[in-house]
A and B are shown apart, each in its own frame.
Chain A
Amino acid sequence: MTPIMPDIQLIAIFPESILAIFACALFVMDPFIARDKKEQLGYFSLAGLCVSGVSTLFLWGKSISTFSGMIALDNYALFFKTLFLMISALIILMSIRYIKIERINLGEYYGLILFATIGMMFMPSATDLLSFYLSLELMSMSLYVLAAFMRKDPKSIEGGIKYFLTGVFSSGLILYGVAFLFGATGTTNLGEIAAFLQENGVTSSLSLIMAFVLLITGFGFKISAVPFHMWAPDVYEGSPTPVTAFLSAGSKAAAFSVMLRVFINAFALSSGNWWPVLWVIAVLTMTLGNLVALVQTNMKRLLAYSSIAHAGYLMIGLITASQIGYAAILIYLVGYVFMTLGAFTLIILLCSANMKGDQISDFKGLARTNPMLGLVFIIFALSLIGIPPSAGFVGKLYLFNSAIQGGFYWLAIIGILNSVVSLYYYFRVVQVMYMDEPNAGTVLSFSPTLKVALGITAFLTLFLGLYPEPIIKAAIDSVQIFL
């Protein structure tokens, strides 16, 4: 009789465990809290995120591989964990007032956000295809429910169902790809896969190609890359706005965090000849996203297409398959997260009892009645286009940097042309805000938490444009694992 003591270092999953305890406690507390006091749960989950965030910071610099090689804790994972915690906290700050107005202030809302966050946090840590798949599903399942949370609104239901179907479908494809990868190598551990391929000198075989195609399709759905993007606009439009923001910032960043590990480790991007496929997808994604965004009248749809385009830019870093490219993805994601969340915060601000506030025309003259909002939106718009001084500019600079260094000149040029196109539709909103007569009866639903969210996102978007050194340093540290 040998007692089984598996190789487990609980410290590696400490931040997630804390969050899980908070999430469970939240579900226990929920039935005891009256409907009009549910925001207490929001503050409770914020506290959980803070505790988890602090513990994450303490772990910085550690390098642990545990759970029989299923979970790794390194700077790369911690970088993303910190990012996800911040996203989640901002989403909750944005939601507290909004879900009251939309009459969906249920305790489960916060619980699901926490569970989705836990899933996201496990994703960059996953060093095994199975642990990655489990965390992906934990995140996705929570998000399916959140997308359809306004269950009396047909659009939300439609979005929820669409998201569920495409999500499940793409998860299935990913799983199928995982199976092929397992078939080809006999293991699901990313490190072992890489070692196997290297030992046997396999760079492409039938099952490897199948695995690549299936995985890229599945991930393509998750990051809404063209031609797997068609769910995004409907889901983004229908979902409650904070959930839309969560989808476009959180789930996209999470998908990229895994994509890097899977593609770089398992497929050895830099040595294989995978890049032409990614190149085509990236170009299609940014071009279609930007062109279709030109004709949108709904702000949420516009941001949906813009987020499709941003996925295209982000793929540049993956294509170049270089240290600087990976760092560029991380840097760009940080900027992208804050500017997108900021833009969504503005939409939430416009949502009041008698107005949905997600049409571009609802923004009419907003900068004249409220100059501060105009200024803040300009910061986000500049950042989304990639004009300095903004976090978006630094990110794009890094992406183009990697493209030029890798010799992908055409990719850089196409990226640039796309940025010019994007100027047009972002500044159409600026134009409406500054140069049109204000709408009568626009009520802004200011709340302290919303102001905090708007302040944080605007400040960080600007600050990271002026002094990006810490983020660049952290990103470069983080991608050391791919050396």
Chain B
Amino acid sequence: MGTNVYGFPLLSLIAYLPLIGAIILLFMKKEEEKKIMQTAFAVSIVTLAVSLLLIPGFDSTTSEMQFTEQHTWIPSLGVSYAFGIDGISLLLIVMTTIISSIAIVSSYTAINMRIKEYYVSILFLETGMLGVFMSMDFFLFYIFWEVMLVPMYFMIGIWGGGRRLYSAIKFFLYTLFGSLFMLLGILAVYFLNADPQYGSGQYTFSVLELQKMNLPLHPLQFWLFLAFFLGFAIKVPMFPFHTWLPDAHTDAPTAGSVLLAGVLLKMGTYGFVRFCLPMFPEASVYFMPYMAGLSLVGIVYGALVALAQKDIKRLVAYSSVSHLGFVMLGIFALNTHGITGGILQMVNHGVSTGALFLIVGMIYERRHTRLIADFGGLSSKMPIYSAVFAVTMFSSMGLPGLNGFVGEFLILVGAFEANKIYAGIAVIGIILGAAYMLWLFQRMMFGPLDKPENQKILDMNRREIAYMAPLIVFMFWIGLFPRPFIRVMEPAVEKIVQRLKGAGAMAKQESEEKSVEVISKNDKTVIAARIDPEKGMID
């Protein structure tokens, strides 16, 4: 089922390195704070380095799973330990290792209590996130998917601010609610696959096997799509399920927000691309208008609410809702441009919004407030900071030359191809996005420096510049030369689109066939009535 060029369980190594690091940390004394931080950072950097090894070995001409590992695990359930990646996962894995390292560095001064537990949580979380993007077995996938909730719960609940306990449990409850429905969906798919009528006739949790199933749209694909939808849409979060996000983001510590926005939300969109589209192509086509509708509501609603925010972090959180609406719109344009744009925008959002949260975190660390009204005129005191802020803001807005533009452009092209109205409404979101971002920047950076507390504010230090730099590099790189990123995922996207096209064609054919059948039936009865009073003779 794929290849592994290194002939070595590289993916497992990447996934479990952070876990091993977390276990090492557990055995360190909690007073050795400096050592703990250094170890955590070292572990994350090693993980990053090892994950970069994936790139030279990756064959971007095939949609096959690569670096595969497959071992029998629980044979009586048909569960196997299966890892494997394609271009989509590759991008997200490397993004995860980069953002995790940055999150760890950014916490050096921000976190000053219960340090050991904090870094254990982050590393544990990293293993969970990486595992999700690699798993090629639903059982394994589900374990990583759920395991990751616990460290995030603790990050918000222990090191958060504001109503952290409320936000933490809200995050946990919402996500668990969705993922349990997904579990039911997984189980249903598992049984349907064992039915030779639909699948291979075997009990297996293998993602690749289950993607080959042919289910009828009504009622199976319809309900299964909805079950998976609940799991992923809450994670994304799509419009009516987004209410946990602003709370979680606002109350999480900076690194928590960065990981949440940068990686965790991507797991929802990744789920749609990896599981929903290939497994339920007909249902995806069927639900496309609804999904696009919800995405558009999310885009506009998120942007409007962001405009009204007084708290910087909440503003960024709502901007996430809007941006993920774009991602979902791209994915559910169900064509090559849209899906490519959606996936690229996943990476972009991770980079830009991650950077925005870091920027908010820096200012919060200095002033211990996040109210926009408490700032003003900072650009004179903090030139580097405001420059970095400006680039990030432009990237988030989608200014040409920066990463956000490429993603949004592709998404709009895809949406336009699917339905012109979608693209039209989405553009409103871009305009509103520019509005809230520019307004935020103006209120914070320009104007008179009239607050006495802001007089002595310090600019970014070397550590902060160091961890912002790679993000800025990525913003320009993707913005100016996105080709490598797109090329990597091309075959994988193409495979999904082919599957969808088949489905679209099939759905059409099916309805046509039906109408033909109806007509012929009518004809027959008419003929029968005309020719012979005893209808049964003709049949």
Residues of chain A touching chain B, judged by Cβ–Cβ distance below 8 Å, are: 368, 371, 378, 382, 385, 387-389, 393, 397, 400-401, 404-405, 409, 412-413, 416-417, 419-420, 423-424, 427, 431, 434-435, 467-469, 472-473, 476
Q: B180 touching A435 by the CB < 8 A rule?
A: no
* CB contact under 8 A between A404 and B76, given known A420-B176, A423-B172: no
Closest A residue by C-beta to B190: A401
Which secondary structure dominates chain A's binding surface? helix
Residues of chain B touching chain A, judged by Cβ–Cβ distance below 8 Å, are: 73-77, 114, 117, 142-143, 146-147, 149-150, 153-154, 157-158, 165, 168-169, 172-173, 176-177, 180-181, 183-184, 187-188, 190-191
Please name 13 further chain A to chain B contacts, defined as beta carbons within 8 Å, in addition to the given A397-B183, A412-B184, A469-B76, sorted by A numbering. A382-B150, A387-B146, A388-B146, A404-B188, A409-B184, A413-B184, A420-B177, A431-B165, A431-B169, A435-B157, A467-B73, A468-B77, A476-B76
Contacts of A472 in B (CB 8 A): 74, 76-77
Q: A420 touching B180 by the CB < 8 A rule?
A: yes
Q: B157 touching A378 by the CB < 8 A rule?
A: no
Q: A389 touching B143 by the CB < 8 A rule?
A: yes
A417→B184 CA distance, assembly (Å): 12
* CB contact under 8 A between A400 and B147, given known A431-B157, A434-B154, A473-B76: no
Contacts of A387 in B (CB 8 A): 146-147, 149-150, 176
Contacts of B177 in A (CB 8 A): 417, 420
Which secondary structure dominates chain B's binding surface? helix
Q: B158 touching A424 by the CB < 8 A rule?
A: no
The 10 nearest A-B residue pairs measured at CB: A388-B143, A416-B180, A472-B76, A404-B187, A420-B177, A387-B146, A469-B74, A389-B143, A388-B146, A404-B188
A476→B176 CA distance, assembly (Å): 29
Contacts of B114 in A (CB 8 A): 368
Closest A residue by C-beta to B181: A416
| A178–chain B nearest beta-carbon distance, Å | 36
Contacts of A431 in B (CB 8 A): 157, 165, 168-169
Contacts of A389 in B (CB 8 A): 143, 147
* CB contact under 8 A between A427 and B184, given known A434-B158, A468-B74: no
A10→B135 CA distance, assembly (Å): 52
A431→B147 CA distance, assembly (Å): 17
Q: A400 touching B187 by the CB < 8 A rule?
A: yes
Q: List 8 A-B contacts (CB under 8 A).
A: A371-B117, A397-B183, A413-B181, A416-B184, A417-B177, A419-B176, A427-B172, A431-B157
Q: B143 touching A434 by the CB < 8 A rule?
A: no
Task: Name, among B169, B180, B190, the residue most crowded by chain A CB atoms within 10 Å (CB to CB).
Answer: B180
Contact of A420 among B143, B150, B173, B184 (CB under 8 A): B173
A420→B230 CA distance, assembly (Å): 14
A401→B138 CA distance, assembly (Å): 14
| B220–chain A nearest beta-carbon distance, Å | 12
| A184–chain B nearest beta-carbon distance, Å | 37
A409→B219 CA distance, assembly (Å): 13
* CB contact under 8 A between A400 and B165, given known A388-B143, A469-B74: no
Closest B residue by C-beta to A400: B187
* CB contact under 8 A between A424 and B169, given known A404-B191, A435-B157: yes
A419→B175 CA distance, assembly (Å): 12
Contacts of B169 in A (CB 8 A): 424, 427, 431
Task: Name, among A413, A416, A419, the residue most crowded by chain B CB atoms within 10 Å (CB to CB).
Answer: A416
Task: Name, among A371, A385, A420, the residue most crowded by chain B CB atoms within 10 Å (CB to CB).
Answer: A420
* CB contact under 8 A between A397 and B150, given known A423-B176, A469-B74: no
Contacts of A416 in B (CB 8 A): 180-181, 183-184
* CB contact under 8 A between A400 and B158, given known A371-B117, A469-B75, A472-B76: no
Contacts of B190 in A (CB 8 A): 401
Q: A400 touching B183 by the CB < 8 A rule?
A: yes
Q: A423 touching B147 by the CB < 8 A rule?
A: no
A424→B174 CA distance, assembly (Å): 11
Contacts of A400 in B (CB 8 A): 183-184, 187
Contacts of B142 in A (CB 8 A): 388
A424→B168 CA distance, assembly (Å): 11
A431→B183 CA distance, assembly (Å): 26
Contact of B173 among A378, A393, A401, A423 (CB under 8 A): A423
